[in-house]
Amino acid sequence: MSTLSRRTLLKGAGVTLGLPWLEAMASTAAAKPPIRMAFLYMPNGVNIHGWWPEGKGRDWKLSQSLQPLAALKDDVTVFSNLWNANSKGGDGHYVKEAAILTCQTIKKTPGADIANGVSVDQLAAQRVAHLTPLPSLELGVSPVAIGVDAVVGYTRVYGSHIAWANATTPLARELNPRLVYERLFRAASGPKGNAAKMDALLLDRVQTDAKRLRGQVGQADKIRLDEYMSVMRSLEERVERATRKTGDSWKPRAAMDPKALPTDRPVDHAEHVRLMLDMIAVAFQTDTTRIATFMFGNSVSNVSFRFLEGVTAGHHDNSHHQNDPEKLRQYERVARWHVEQYAYLMQKLRDIKEGESNVLDNSMVMFASALNDGNKHDPHKLPILLGGKGGGRVDAGQHLVYTEDSPLSNLYVSMLDAFGTPVERFADSTGPIAGLLHA
């Protein structure tokens, strides 16, 4: 039996009618690759003198910081003059970085009564959760910071999460690449034995012990426990989901090798980052999930980049450059290293073929920092990149320049549209972002 396109029309008697879904269309629909979204977050902003490209539209040149994207120039879109208006107040970091994917104003609090908003990745995940074993994947390399940043009066929990299921629930990140791979393999293979039940039992035990302990500690420790449990709550839905059978229609798009486990103790920061990016590639290749977030570091991260030639200070220290030429040079080199990792993931996705296209063609991979110049904690003109073509919807290979202070949330409206989960508005958006999507 031949296969019919969903666009097949019935023509006659002066009218044109679209056919309803028929079984003969099934193979065509099944053959169409899924769209994926990944969000990569870099703390501390960039050296603005090395970031912005020359030219606009398709006539643009890579800047010094963007040089690692040379081989991917036609697959990436650079945005200029976007900002997150709802993060303009408050402290230098937390209020901006916790809201990079929510575009909301976070509540200033030193305790567990946190408030933000649902992030763009989770809004999409909630709508497509039934299509894959894992609704989304949250990854990082730095442990959750707890307690209060006494300088600004915000709980450090804000600085450890960019993915939020709702206003009060940041999603727990996995930091161990070996555990990520095991989780992906288990999700793709289906529950084995009592593994999912054991996870549920462990989570119940953690919650019970935390409640018991809360009655035995002082106020400061109560706050720390509440912060910890606000993150742990995000695991409940994932554990419950793991005990359910994914729809019979789901099949992994590629096999996973159970012996190809990465190390659980990366030697250094650079190796750790690469392993976590590899996990995103595996997740997308197998279609175990279609949504991922990754944090290169927590807010105010001062990771040492001494492994880069000529860099002698931590990331946050260099971001407060005070216009010192040497600090600016090191600051730019660290930003370029992050772009190199971004390029690594995109190249990896481009190398994975899907019919006549590849996984990068069928993805949207965002790279963002919530600050422009870290020395000024500037939320204007955010450094934002988008890789991939979103299944053909994204008109990539451009430098899109907007009027100053255009809403970042407009980009998210367009990304959600290309992903197949359209919304009329997201946060303070005024509509879809101009020039990104094919008509």
Give the tens place of pLDDT for each residue, 87-111: 987 777 889 999 999 999 999 988 8
Q: pLDDT class for 251, splitting at 50, 70, 90?
A: confident
d(CA 280, CA 363): 12
d(CA 256, CA 370): 35
pLDDT at 378: 84
Cβ–Cβ under 8 Å, residues 289 and 283: yes
d(CA 76, CA 398): 7
Q: pLDDT class for 209, splitting at 50, 70, 90?
A: low
Q: Is 46 left (phi over 0), alpha (psi -120 to 50) or beta?
A: beta
For the stretch 134-169, pLDDT in tens is: 999 999 999 888 788 888 889 888 999 999 999 999
Whole-prediction pTM: 0.84
pLDDT at 318: 84
Q: Which residue has the tokens 């359209």?
A: 422
Q: Looking at residue 380, what DSSP letter applies?
A: S
Q: Looking at residue 245, what DSSP letter applies?
A: P
Could you tell me which residues are beta bridge partners of residue 140?
Answer: 295
Geometric angle at alpha carbon 110, from 109 and 111, rounded to 5°: 90
pLDDT at 117: 96
Q: Is 25 left (phi over 0), alpha (psi -120 to 50) or beta?
A: alpha
Identity of the highest mean pLDDT range in 207-211, 226-230, 372-376, 394-398: 394-398
* pLDDT over 70, % of the chain: 80
Average pLDDT over residues 24-30: 45
Reading the block at residue 351, the tokens are 């190398």
Average pLDDT over residues 304-318: 89
Q: Which residue has the tokens 């959600």?
A: 416
Average pLDDT over residues 388-402: 98
Average pLDDT over residues 372-395: 93
pLDDT at 7: 42
Do the bridges between strand 36-41 and strand 363-368 make them parallel or antiparallel, or are there none, so unpaired?
Answer: parallel
pLDDT at 345: 98
Higher pLDDT, 87 or 216: 87
Reading the block at residue 83, the tokens are 């900002």
Cβ–Cβ under 8 Å, residues 349 and 75: no
Average pLDDT over residues 228-249: 57
Classify residue 420 as exposed, middle or buried by CB count within 10 Å of its CB (0-12, 13-18, 19+).
Answer: middle
Could you tell me which residues are beta bridge partners of residue 366?
Answer: 39, 386
pLDDT score of 204 more than 70:
no
State which CATH number among 1.10.10, 3.40.720, 1.10.3470, 3.40.50 fits the domain covering 35-190+245-419: 3.40.720
Longest CA–CA span in the chain (Å) reads: 80
For the stretch 34-59, pLDDT in tens is: 999 999 999 989 999 999 999 999 99
pLDDT score of 421 more than 50:
yes
pLDDT at 165: 93
pLDDT at 405: 96
Do the bridges between strand 15-18 and strand 9-12 make them parallel or antiparallel, or are there none, so unpaired?
Answer: antiparallel
Segment among 23-32, 133-142, 334-343 with least mean pLDDT? 23-32
Listed by start position, the domains of the chain span 1-32, 35-190+245-419
Average pLDDT over residues 401-409: 97
3-class state of residue 399 by DSSP: strand
Geometric angle at alpha carbon 171, from 165 and 176, rounded to 5°: 155
Cβ–Cβ under 8 Å, residues 260 and 181: yes
Do the bridges between strand 36-41 and strand 148-149 make them parallel or antiparallel, or are there none, so unpaired?
Answer: unpaired
φ, ψ for residue 200, nearest 5 deg: -65, -40
pLDDT at 16: 33
pLDDT at 295: 96
pLDDT at 323: 87
Nearest to 391 by CA among 430, 419, 422: 419
pLDDT score of 336 more than 90:
yes
